[in-house]
Every structure is written in C-alpha cells, then in structure tokens.
Amino acid sequence: MTLEEIKGQEINLNAINKAIKSNSLGHAVLITGPPGSGKRTLANYLVQVLNCEREKSTPCNLCSNCYKIYNGTFPDLIRVSSEGRWIKIDQLRESRKNFSYHNQEGKFRICVIEEAHRLTSEAAASLLKSLEEPQEEVKYFLTSSMSSWVSPTIVSRCVQFKMRRLNVSQIKEILNNRFPETPPEKIDLAAQISNGVPGRAIEFLTDESWKERLDVVERLLEIIISEDAGEAELFWEAKKWSEREDLPHLLELLLICFRDGLLSSFSGNQELLVNPGNLLCGNKNKLTPSFFEEAMSLIGEHQKIIITTNANLLLTLEMMFLSIKGRIKYVPRNWNQV
C-alpha cells in the first residue's frame, strides 16, 4: 500500500505512526468516513504497517507479508462484511474461532469488520466481549460510514481515525494520475460531484450507472417541484426506488441535490456546489431555505430508518417523498431581494 493511495490523509498517517511508535494503538481501531473515502485502504495500510517484515514506519511493499496483504492472501487477516443488510453473530463467532489458533505468518492476527454499524445487536454483543477480553496478538479494525450508529460501548473501546474529505484540486490530481486519457471536462465534473470523496469520483469515471442514477434522482426532483404532479407519480417513483439495490447511492445523491439547492439559495458561487446542474439550483419557482433544510432533515431521518431497521422500504420511501413535497412553499421570484 503506497502513500499515494491514501493521499490527503497525512493527519491520520501521522497519528498512526505516533500511536505505533508509542505502542498506544490498542487492540481495536475504528475508521470512519463517507463511502469511498478510503477507509478500507487505510485499514489495509495499518495491517501492512503492523505486519511488515522490515518493521518500518511505512509498509515496504516488498516483503512477503506486504505483498500478501495487498493481494488479499494474508492468512492472518480476516474480513467480515454484511450478508445482505446485516453482519450476523455467526460471522463473528466464525472469526473468533479462527483467531483461537496461533499466528501463521504475521506478528498480529487482524479482523477487519467493514461497515460496523450493520452489526446486529447479538453480533455487537459478541464483538464487545472480544474487545473486553482482548488477546495480545489479535487486533480488530472496524470501518463505518455511519459512525453515530455504531454501538457507543464498542466505540469507547476503539482508537478512532476519521477520513478527511479532499478539496477539488486534490481529487483532480488523483484522477489525472489514475486516468491520464480522460478528457479534462469529465475530470472536473467527477471532482465536483465527488463531494471530497475520491472513491466517489473514481466510481463516477468508471461506472456508467452514475449517469443513470443522476437521471433517476432528477426525475424525482421534477415530480417534487412540479405543481401538477400528484401522489400517484410519487408512489410510482417510490416503488421503483424500493426495488433498486443501489438505493443508498440514490439517497446520498438526493441529499447532495438538496444541499446544493440550499447553498444556491444563499449564494451564486457555483464552486460551492457539488452538482450545480440539478433542478433545485436556480429553479424558476424559488424555493425557501427552510424547505431545503426540512427536506434534508427528512432524508437523513428516513435514510437511517432504511439502513438500520427492517422497515418496509416502499412505505418508508412513500412517506419520505410525500413529506418532502408537502413542505414546498412557493414564494415570489424576487424573494431573496425582499
């Protein structure tokens, strides 16, 4: 794992180096940040630092351990991720069973639990037991894009690192290095829409479904802001959204659009916007700042329900779409001049 792959995270890297040198890293680490911010990459970096045969402050990327960790073949590394929407207790039990043996090749046996907020209550209790009775040569690295939803008792036993969002120029530099043949205008758009998250920019350039997702969100926004569209159209969109596997991505894009709408209502500075072309920015029917704030709050609340509970997706989305549309209060075009 090279430092180029975790560009812009110098504060975290310095903190990690100090913790390792002072032996204060502990047996549990929680890495937080939005999807695509590099949480898994930083976790891999940590695994390499702790198990590098040359014992340097940064991975050598040359020894057998570094090579195997990078390629996913290191025998003392276990990854646990959600099966469906949840990480279940049987997965934690299996990882603990594997850790009952001695190290095979590394100095530490490490379990990486991805998106730890998806742990069921039983799985969280099982993990907590492992953290309360740590084994000397075992470490747990947790990642989460919803850190406030991770059990507080688990969080209290972890050293925490928060992934930093990058500025547009840093994102552009990463993209230009990785995609030298890509037209500059596409690099610029990817950097803007990334909202400081390199993984999102990379996905935008490599996954054509991003364009389709933006179109889906734009279609919903058309219905929400249209005075002629009614409940039937919203219910139909809710049905289509509820059947999509990329629902979390759609909700995140929807939230970005309302954020841009709010910023646009206060400022004409396009550089502040992630997706300045969305329908909520400069719409001919001016929407009040309070509408954008209420809509963002509603999206956040329902996003939490969808991710953390077994609530009916269709009903949840219907309620969210109806509630957002119901908050619209049209005002004169020159409302911001009053």
The pLDDT, as a whole number, for residue 286 is 62
Which of 115, 120, 127 has the alpha carbon at shortest distance from 88?
Answer: 120
| Residue 28 DSSP symbol | E
Q: What angle do CA 70, 76, 82 make, to 5 degrees?
A: 80
The answer on 239 and 138 residing in a single domain is no
Q: Looking at residue 150, which CATH number applies to its domain?
A: 3.40.50.300
Within a domain: 194:
no
Q: Which of 329, 257, 243, 245 is nearest to 299 (CA)?
A: 257
Question: Which of 108, 130, 162 marks a domain boundary?
Answer: 162
Other beta carbons less than 10 A from residue 281's beta carbon: 18
Total tally of structural domains belonging to the chain: 2
DSSP state of 167: P
In a domain, 175, yes or no: no
**How many other CB atoms sit within 10 Å of the CB of residue 126?**
19
What are the pLDDT digits (tens) for 113-125? 999 999 999 999 9
pLDDT tens, position by position, 148-164: 889 999 999 999 999 99
CB 117 within 8 A of CB 87: no
One-letter amino acid for residue 111 of the chain: C
Among 162, 191, 220, the domain-final residue is 162
Give 49's strand partners: none
17 and 130 fall within a common domain: yes
Residue 145, classed as helix, strand or coil, is coil
Give the pair of three-digit tokens for residue 142.
Answer: 């947790």
Q: Give the model's confidence band at 270: pLDDT under 50 very low, under 70 low, under 90 confident, else very high.
A: low
Please state, in angstroms and rounded to a whole number, the distance separating the CA atoms of residues 270 and 114: 35
Cβ neighbours around 30 below 10 Å, total: 23
Among 28-32, 75-79, 260-264, 326-330, the least confident range: 326-330
What is the rounded CA–CA span in Å between residue 294 and residue 187? 32
The Cα 222–Cα 73 span in angstroms is 48
Residue reference for tokens 């046996």: 109
Q: For position 338, what pLDDT does the model report?
A: 40
| The pLDDT of residue 276 | 64
User: Would 247 be classed as within a structural domain?
Assistant: yes
Confidence of residue 336 (pLDDT cuts 50, 70, 90): very low
**Residue 296: predicted pLDDT:** 93
Q: Is residue 172 part of a domain?
A: no
Q: Which two tokens stand for residue 307?
A: 């991710």
Tens of pLDDT along 165-224?
A: 999 899 999 999 999 999 888 888 788 778 789 988 898 888 778 778 888 999 999 999
In a domain, 327, yes or no: yes
Q: What residue has token string 């939803």?
A: 149
pLDDT at residue 141 greater than cutoff 90: yes
Instruction: Give the chain's length.
Output: 338
Which residue range(s) make up the domain with 279? 208-337
What is the mean predicted confidence (pLDDT) over 290-312?
Answer: 88
Q: Are strands 138-144 and 28-32 parallel, antiparallel or unpaired?
A: parallel
Residues facing 86 on adjacent strands: 83
- By CB neighbour count within 10 A (0-12 exposed, 13-18 middle, 19+ buried), where does 148 fall? exposed
Tell me the mean pLDDT in the region 25-39. 92
| Other beta carbons less than 10 A from residue 181's beta carbon | 4
Same domain, yes or no: 142 and 225: no
Q: Record the tokens describing residue 147, joined without a space.
A: 């850190």
- What is the model's pTM? 0.72
Q: Examine the domain organization and report whether 19 and 156 are in the same domain.
A: yes
pLDDT of residue 216: 94
